[in-house]
Structure 1
Amino acid sequence: MKALVLAGGKGTRLRPLTHTSAKQLVPVANKPVLYYGLEAIRDAGITNVGVIVGETAAEVRDAIGDGSAFGMEVTYIPQESPLGLAHCVLIARDFLGDEPFVMYLGDNFLVGGISDLVDAFGAGGHDAQILLTRVAEPQFYGVAELGPSGEIIGLEEKPARPRSDLAIVGVYSFSPAVHDAVRAIEPSARGELEITDAIQWLIRNGYSVQSHMVTGYWRDTGRLQDMLECNRIVLEPIERDVRGTVDAMSEITGRVVIEPGAVVDNSILRGPIIVAADSKIVSSYVGPFTSIGPGCVVQNAEIEYSIVLGGSSVIGVSRIAHSLIGRNVEVSRAAGVSNTHQLMVGDHSRIQVGR
């Protein structure tokens, strides 16, 4: 079995951060989202992986390399523009051949892996198996309608009146029959070849399309709040591991990871948090569910429930929360009224906020 990982797209919901970075490489607990997907694929026993890349191809290639770091062999498949998920299957035909495959959206975050999905697909003899999860607001997702045996009998994209609360997760298993489907469908109103249309074609033509329920945690990481929630989920079970330098004036409470080369001076750290190598925390408070990337500086500042990417500095700011700060960003104090600041800041930015 092969895997097709989608690492193209524009990441418009995470702009301005994704103007300069691939959305799949934004880190959760200091590890790119894409890595979690690749590890899940490897752990399911799949080592031959095709990666769809777009305008951020160079960055994705640098991050994955030849795949050997993940125990897999990677083939890169360029997509000239984001023309839909079914288009990704279409252009990957030569790589996929006549083997069954898993299609995994690289910006999806799934706790618990995909081994159960892969095993069930191999044993079930279906032509497609779609991963589903129950959601509170199905009108914002692709939604599946099931028959009595769990077979999928219909799909709707962001319906005004959903027929179920079962959202389509960005992980699919397909037999080679899907190649006929993606060639048969026409572009949607937004000019893309939709994978939901391809699945509907399979259903209409008598192919077996089965559901598989998510047993773990799932999020599409396309929005700020989803990134922060994924960061919280990963940090929640971490074990205390202090290998950096912590002075006697500092207070470290709870599950805190301080990597080698990091320095904590006269500060309070309350876990769960992670501080990457070569970062400095000076005269500051870092609160729960915060990830500080490599080479950062937090000085005379307060920050919690946030993600700070590598090379950034937060200096003299009284309180930052629920924020995602890009790479090489400078956040400093400006005159103003004390407040809690909520930020999503792109790479190489410089901003000033009130005290």
Structure 2
Amino acid sequence: MKTTAALIETEHLLGAHNYKPLDVVLTRGEGVFVWDIEGNRYLDCLSAYSAVNQGHCHPMIFKAMMEQAQKLTLTSRAFRNDQLALFYEEVAALTGSHKVLPMNSGAEAVETAIKAVRKWGYEVKGVAADQAEIIVCSNNFHGRTIGIVGFSTDPDSHDGFGPFAPGFKIVPFGDIDAFRAAISENTVAFLVEPIQGEAGVIVPPAGYFAAVRELCTKHGITLVLDEIQTGLGRTGKLLAEEHEGIEADVTLIGKALSGGFYPVSAVLSNSEVLGVLKPGQHGSTFGGNPLACAIARAALKVLTEEGMIENSALMGERFMKGLTDIRSNIIKEVRGRGLMLAVELVPEAGGARKYCEALKARGILAKDTHGDTIRIAPPLVITATEVDWALEQFAAVLAST
């Protein structure tokens, strides 16, 4: 077997350098833990950006995957399969949706929603041809396709990739006055994350989304919530919109929709919005395939039946309190909801990366983001004992300064 150093060197030589991961080479996972090729165990505090909410290699999801893989994996949407209708039925019942459009990656779901709300704007709202506008927020993260990075404000995602598609207005996240001012007769949608994850787990001000919902309803604007990271239990609710007491017109889910076994995403909406798409106007060879549907059905089943959403709320509160109690002159703020947490460090700390390296040495894998912030998002199956152990490691690394 090659060593860690040898595998990293091979990646460096043969792979594109579009990621800068921590120097750990993982080979196995179970529950909240992963192991590297040298046998060292780590508590995963990233969960593959919330794709592994149900824990690594959940046995029931694995069983469903293996059973379906031996029967039928792919038909394309040229033919029907016996898993798709069941997937629709269960997703719709769980989320209260009227229509479901399955895709693969989260970015595909975002692109699908953009197409749908634009077409809805022309055919239903009556916006003049090619004049539809979508409002988005600064510091957003909705993916890295060419259509999406055009309205990103992150220089790494945006710069050097133009020209970009028009039709987007960017406003500050959490600023209801800026949102109100950006609305025009051509506004067809507001695409927004309930909590901005990649920006550093930025929670909006109280009442922001209630006011957004009111304005969207008043002006005939579709509210599109990107719940690809925040949804499916991550914040202690099935969907993060529940914290705000609102309901989106379009909801995007992905990542944990498969429990980390397969790329599965979906656009959830009503007949008015998704009904504008006719055969041939949108599609995906792999979207809605029987293997994806079987895996997603199992992933949703274990998420709800094993109490993972409730556990996220309880363990998130415990984790948040423990992080807040750490006495340190380098911690600027602790924030988040459920098990979607972040510790922002003061600029004088010298960036979050070195603290993530120190946590790795103590058996914790966490991710730095936006320079000074440590993101914390363990699988939703984490126990109180594991939370307390993790807090000891965070305290040792952060309170020593």
Normalized against structure 2, the TM-score is what? 0.25
More strand by share: 1
**Which fold has the larger relative contact order, with Cα–Cα distance below 8 Å and residues 6 or more apart in sequence?**
2
Q: TM-score, normalised by structure 1?
A: 0.28
